[in-house]
């Protein structure tokens, strides 16, 4: 089975820390890497051995002795007034209610039914007040609290919990208790059941959080049924306190080990199979190498990738790992053009160049099996990406290369230093500055797109805005616009970029989304932020500073027509935010992403045989364990696809479901989801998967047709992706899909050149009544959403006058 790579949620991390930091626990020999160093498990029975070292017991004893000392002799505990409340625990073994407790308003000796006072020497004394002492001898002559070899009494707290447990287990009948004592004991157990410490510690014997309350309740029943007077009184004396929890816990452990071996085994299996700790150990071959890591650290446009690629090209065998298909294609073209044979591998395409020893690939496609002299991992700060971060982490940890060049901003430098300390790799840092500083134009465009100039890149954060801006610029100025946004195929984006870079045409302005921030060589003179807020899938938020920097940094490129970069905003109100973002130092990343490989999910599935794949992912997320430097990547997208397939496609294996769930599909596009469902259904029936999609007749004449072209290309891209991830024979129309995809990318390019229509949205939304049509004469200045956002935030943080009035 191949290596796993993953992590765990912090709730467990904190528990692990608690356990690991308990030196009394760690003294118990063999270390269990999953939970802590505290417990040793017997491979034969697969049930944990007793976890406690005598060190812990002694600690508890010492504490309790020191606490109980104040209760000795003259100190007394008042018996609580009788309460009529009772539950099952009032009943004797035959289910009959203990009437003695109901009849009397006060105290009961276990057998005598009288109020008692326990004296130092263990004598019983009548009365309403119970004074508890260190030693007790029961009237029946049994040594309730333990008799030491010298014949003297040993305090309950000082006794071995294993011994105590066995005594309870073997007890034939319980001692009767006074009602107040009984009530106090209920409180003690209620306290125990809610104790975070106890539930944390119970994890170490694989009593899971969800099972802990059940285990605690059963233990309570057991204790009530079996407890002798001395033990009972001792716990009552401790009352609902941490001391009581710590006294009871070792007995609870003994009880659990004997009572719940199946639950323990099941939870242990689950925890072990979802262990994502120490991901660097998952790649033993890479660990056996002494790798040299070179971190090219600096802002955009500072020559990091250029220098790393020099080493890549000099190497005998090299791999370049790209964040985007587009960038992998760029490097593939560039390197081959320079006479170095280089192949290409992305999710959608494999271009093998004969005799090549170099490969340009997307980071998800990196092979950790092959050996390389030099590897380049571009945009290494993407390790912290909430969704895709795991791919960078895996590449860094797993690549078998003598020399690995990381290119990125400084945000992940410290975490890379930490990872290198774990892996034992040698880290070298090369720091860079921008070739030319980025200059902020304070004047801004004063809210008017008529002030756009040649060489400008206007950045907007939604497809709708991009087309609105393009329309407005083309309507009110003499400029023509190219557009670049995420939903466009890489070929079309490249075509648009070339059109913009080319001096000899009328396309001299670029309107783009944040997709412009990475991977394209663009001759931008000035980056203009149309807005600095965007929809994050939930609400409109200001664009994060790191992203603003990345995008603004595209202005001015060494060797281009515009080596000096400028940036500004459309709105004067947004300028401060832009300056603030540019001034902000790179925020240090504390955690990087991980995600399980199929084999790990499969192992985990073995523990939960009757759940759906989607539930399995959820459970994995809940139970997986991570070191402090890692987080589990978001997988909502995967779950959504998994859920759809679960409901509608039968006969897929777990591995098929896993792979289908990673297919690149826009989950918000019903058409694309429909095609994925169709592909999966055909695949599950083992029949050739058809493309079954007509080729558009020509370029788009309106936005609906443009959207249709985008969807069609995405579906073809998905078909190609599936053909590379599943049995080839089931996807026999790869050539056809490639041709169609190329043709559609061309049509998209043609469509964008003439696009001058009002954009549509994929989701049907009610039109806003006051919204003016941008095609109407005149030009409406867009509002600054950042300002609005900040204003709202301020309003929220300040109590309103109305609130003050109400309060007054």
Residue with Cβ nearer ligand ATP (171 or 439): 439
Q: Are 391 and 421 in contact (CB under 8 A)?
A: no
Estimate to the nearest angstrom the gap between the alpha carbon of 572 and the chain centroid. Answer: 38
Q: How far apart (Å, rounded) are the C-alpha atoms in residues 82 and 86?
A: 11
**Residue 407 beta carbon to ligand ATP: minimum distance, rounded to whole angstroms:** 6
**Residue 323 beta carbon to ligand ATP: minimum distance, rounded to whole angstroms:** 10
**Residue 800 beta carbon to ligand ATP: minimum distance, rounded to whole angstroms:** 45
Residue with Cβ nearer ligand ATP (261 or 544): 544
Residue with Cβ nearer ligand ATP (381 or 496): 381
Give, as ranges, the residues between 279 and 298 that touch ligand ATP (CB under 6 A).
298
**Residue 408 beta carbon to ligand ATP: minimum distance, rounded to whole angstroms:** 8
**Residue 276 beta carbon to ligand ATP: minimum distance, rounded to whole angstroms:** 30
**Residue 3 beta carbon to ligand ATP: minimum distance, rounded to whole angstroms:** 31
Residue with Cβ nearer ligand ATP (407 or 752): 407
Residue 462 DSSP label: S
**Is 730 among the residues that bind ligand ATP (CB under 6 A)?**
no
Residue with Cβ nearer ligand ATP (477 or 521): 521
Residue with Cβ nearer ligand ATP (493 or 557): 557
**Residue 549 beta carbon to ligand ATP: minimum distance, rounded to whole angstroms:** 11
**Residue 13 beta carbon to ligand ATP: minimum distance, rounded to whole angstroms:** 33
Give, as ranges, the residues between 386 and 415 that touch ligand ATP (CB under 6 A).
407
**Residue 523 beta carbon to ligand ATP: minimum distance, rounded to whole angstroms:** 10
Residue with Cβ nearer ligand ATP (264 or 382): 382
**Residue 218 beta carbon to ligand ATP: minimum distance, rounded to whole angstroms:** 60
Give, as ranges, the residues between 554 and 573 that touch ligand ATP (CB under 6 A).
557-559
* Block residue for tokens 């230093």: 417
Q: How far apart (Å, rounded) are the C-alpha atoms in residues 394 and 375?
A: 13
**Residue 308 beta carbon to ligand ATP: minimum distance, rounded to whole angstroms:** 8
Nearest by Cα to 592 from 788, 406, 716? 406
# binding residues, ligand ATP (CB under 6 A): 13
Q: How far apart (Å, rounded) are the C-alpha atoms in residues 399 and 378?
A: 14
Taking CB atoms within 8 Å and a gap of at least 24, the contacts of 81-86 are: 81/105, 81/180, 82/106, 82/179, 82/180, 83/179, 83/183, 85/183, 86/182
**Residue 362 beta carbon to ligand ATP: minimum distance, rounded to whole angstroms:** 16
Residue with Cβ nearer ligand ATP (47 or 380): 380
Q: Which two tokens stand for residue 292?
A: 């040299």
Q: Which two tokens stand for residue 751?
A: 């469509």
3-state per-residue secondary structure call for 60-100: HHHHHHHHHHHHCCCCCEECCCCCCCCCHHHECCCCCECHH
Residue with Cβ nearer ligand ATP (520 or 737): 520
**Residue 589 beta carbon to ligand ATP: minimum distance, rounded to whole angstroms:** 17
Residue with Cβ nearer ligand ATP (561 or 758): 561
**Residue 364 beta carbon to ligand ATP: minimum distance, rounded to whole angstroms:** 19
Transcribe 318-358 into DSSP letters: EEEEESSHHHHHHHHHHHHHTT--EEEE-SS-EEPPTT--E
Nearest by Cα to 26 from 164, 204, 163? 204
* Block residue for tokens 């030196």: 23
Estimate to the nearest angstrom the gap between the alpha carbon of 140 and the chain centroid. Answer: 60
Q: How far apart (Å, rounded) are the C-alpha atoms in residues 644 and 676?
A: 10
Residue 635 DSSP label: -
Count CB-CB contacts under 10 A for residue 592: 28
Residue 411 DSSP label: G
Q: How far apart (Å, rounded) are the C-alpha atoms in residues 530 and 25?
A: 59
Residue with Cβ nearer ligand ATP (324 or 748): 324
Q: Which three-class secondary structure state does DSSP give residue 116?
A: coil
Q: How far apart (Å, rounded) are the C-alpha atoms in residues 462 and 543?
A: 12
Residue with Cβ nearer ligand ATP (409 or 456): 409
Nearest by Cα to 244 from 235, 232, 233? 235
Residue with Cβ nearer ligand ATP (512 or 645): 512
- Binding characters for ligand ATP, 293-322, by CB under 6 A (x = yes): -----x-xxxxxxx----------------
Helices 598-605, 613-623: crossing angle, 10 deg rounding: 100
Give, as ranges, the residues between 517 and 556 that touch ligand ATP (CB under 6 A).
521
Question: Beta strands 77-78 and 129-130: pairing type?
Answer: antiparallel
527 — phi, psi (to 5°)? -95, 125
**Residue 374 beta carbon to ligand ATP: minimum distance, rounded to whole angstroms:** 16
Transcribe 150-201 into DSSP letters: TS-B--GGGS-HHHHHHHHHH-SSPPP--HHHHHHHHHHHHHHHH-HHHHHH
Residue with Cβ nearer ligand ATP (197 or 306): 306
Residue with Cβ nearer ligand ATP (359 or 551): 551
Looking from the CA of 739 toward its CB, the CA atoms found within 13 Å total: 6
Q: How far apart (Å, rounded) are the C-alpha atoms in residues 119 and 136?
A: 8
Interacting residue ranges for ligand ATP, rule: CB under 6 A: 298, 300-306, 407, 521, 557-559
């Amino acid at each position: 089975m191949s290596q796993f790579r993953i992590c765990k949620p912090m709730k467990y991390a904190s528990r692990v820390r608690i356990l690991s930091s308990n030196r009394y626990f760690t003294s118990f020999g063999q270390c269990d890497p999953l939970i802590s160093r505290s417990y040793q498990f017997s491979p034969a029975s697969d049930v944990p051995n007793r976890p406690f070292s005598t060190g812990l017991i002694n600690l508890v004893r010492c504490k309790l002795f020191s606490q109980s000392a104040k209760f000795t002799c003259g100190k007394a505990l008042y018996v609580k007034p009788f309460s009529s409340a009772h539950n099952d625990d009032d009943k004797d073994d035959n289910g009959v209610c203990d009437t003695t407790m109901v009849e009397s308003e006060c105290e009961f000796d276990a057998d005598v039914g009288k109020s008692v006072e326990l004296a130092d020497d263990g004598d019983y004394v009548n009365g309403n007040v119970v004074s508890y002492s260190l030693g007790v001898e029961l009237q029946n002559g049994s040594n309730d609290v333990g008799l030491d070899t010298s014949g003297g009494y040993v305090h309950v707290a000082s006794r071995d919990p294993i011994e105590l447990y066995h005594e309870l287990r073997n007890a034939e009948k319980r001692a009767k208790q006074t009602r107040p004592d009984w009530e106090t004991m209920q409180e003690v157990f209620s306290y125990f059941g809610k104790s975070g410490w106890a539930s944390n510690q119970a994890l170490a014997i694989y009593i899971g959080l969800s099972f802990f309350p059940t285990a605690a309740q059963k233990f309570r029943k057991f204790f009530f049924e079996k407890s002798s007077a001395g033990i009972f009184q001792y716990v009552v004396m401790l009352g609902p306190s941490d001391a009581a929890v710590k006294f009871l816990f070792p007995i609870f452990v003994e009880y659990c080990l004997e009572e719940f071996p199946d639950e323990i085994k099941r939870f242990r299996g689950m925890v072990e199979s979802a262990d994502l700790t120490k991901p660097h150990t998952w790649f033993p071959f890479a660990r056996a190498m002494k790798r040299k890591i070179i971190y090219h650290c600096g802002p955009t446009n500072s020559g990091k990738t250029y220098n790393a690629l020099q080493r890549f090209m000099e190497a005998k065998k090299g791999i370049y790992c790209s964040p985007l298909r587009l960038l992998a294609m760029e490097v593939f073209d560039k390197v081959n053009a320079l006479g170095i044979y280089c192949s290409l591998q992305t999710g959608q395409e494999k271009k093998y160049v004969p005799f090549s020893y170099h490969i340009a690939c997307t980071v998800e496609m990196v092979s950790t099996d092959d050996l390389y002299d030099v590897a380049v991992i571009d945009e290494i700060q993407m390790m912290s990406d909430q969704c895709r971060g795991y791919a960078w982490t895996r590449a860094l940890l797993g690549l078998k290369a003598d020399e690995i060049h990381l290119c990125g901003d400084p945000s992940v430098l410290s975490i890379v230093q930490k990872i290198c300390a774990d892996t034992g790799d040698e880290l070298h840092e090369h720091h860079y500055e921008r070739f030319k500083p980025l200059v902020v134009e304070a004047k801004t465009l004063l809210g008017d797109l008529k002030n756009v100039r040649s060489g400008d890149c206007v950045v907007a954060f939604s497809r709708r805005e991009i087309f609105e801006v393009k329309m407005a610029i083309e309507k009110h100025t003499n400029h023509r616009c190219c557009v670049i946004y995420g939903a466009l195929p890489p070929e079309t984006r490249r075509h648009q970029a070339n059109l913009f870079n080319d001096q000899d045409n009328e396309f001299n302005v670029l309107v783009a989304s944040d997709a412009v921030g990475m991977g394209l060589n663009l001759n931008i003179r000035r980056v203009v932020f149309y807005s600095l807020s965007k929809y994050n899938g939930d609400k409109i938020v200001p664009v994060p500073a790191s992203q603003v920097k990345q995008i603004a940094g595209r202005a001015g490129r060494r060797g281009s027509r515009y080596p000096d970069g400028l940036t500004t905003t459309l709105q004067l109100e947004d300028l401060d935010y832009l300056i603030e973002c540019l001034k902000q130092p790179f925020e240090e990343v504390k955690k990087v992403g991980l995600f399980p490989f199929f084999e790990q999910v499969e192992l985990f599935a073995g523990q939960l045989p009757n759940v759906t794949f989607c539930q399995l992912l959820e459970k994995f997320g809940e139970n997986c364990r991570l070191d402090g430097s890692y987080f589990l990547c978001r997988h909502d997208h995967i779950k959504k696809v998994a859920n759809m397939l679960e409901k509608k496609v039968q006969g897929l294996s777990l591995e098929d479901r896993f792979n289908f769930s990673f297919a690149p599909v826009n989950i918000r596009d019903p058409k694309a989801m429909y095609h994925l469902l169709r592909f999966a259904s055909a695949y599950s029936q083992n029949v050739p998967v058809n493309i079954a999609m007509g080729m558009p007749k020509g370029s788009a004449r309106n936005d609906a047709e443009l959207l249709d072209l985008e969807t069609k290309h995405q579906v073809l891209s998905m078909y190609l992706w599936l053909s590379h991830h599943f049995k080839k024979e089931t996807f026999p129309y790869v050539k056809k899909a490639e041709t169609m995809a190329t043709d559609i990318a061309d049509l998209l390019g043609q469509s964008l050149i003439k696009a001058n229509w009002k954009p549509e949205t994929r989701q049907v939304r009610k039109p806003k009544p006051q919204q003016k049509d941008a095609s109407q004469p005149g030009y409406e200045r867009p509002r600054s959403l950042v300002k609005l956002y900040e204003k709202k935030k301020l309003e929220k943080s300040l109590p309103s006058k109305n609130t003050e009035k109400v309060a007054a």
